[in-house]
Amino acid sequence: MLVSEIKFMPVSIDRKKCVTCGGCVGLCPANAMHLETELKHDVKKCTSCGVCVRFCPAGALELKQANRFATNS
């Protein structure tokens, strides 16, 4: 049996693009995004759902592929 899985890292924030609008804070179903003086991301809460990435008006958020592995058994 072949099992393939792609795991994603939590959201990556491009600080140069982020305009600190806070839109992602209200949209995050896991409450992983917080806006203080800059955008903060709680990696322990993040489920990598991508809602914040899709709705960021500045394109400052990204899900990056962490690893891919395949197992034969």
Tens digit of each residue's pLDDT (9 = 90 or more) over 3-36: 445 555 778 999 999 999 999 999 999 999 999 8
Q: Are 12 and 53 in contact (CB under 8 A)?
A: no
pLDDT at res. 10: 75
| CATH tag, 2-72 | 3.30.70.20
**How much of the chain is helix, strand and coil, in % rounded to 5?**
15, 40, 45
What percentage of the chain reaches a pLDDT higher than 70? 77
The domain ranges of the chain are 2-72
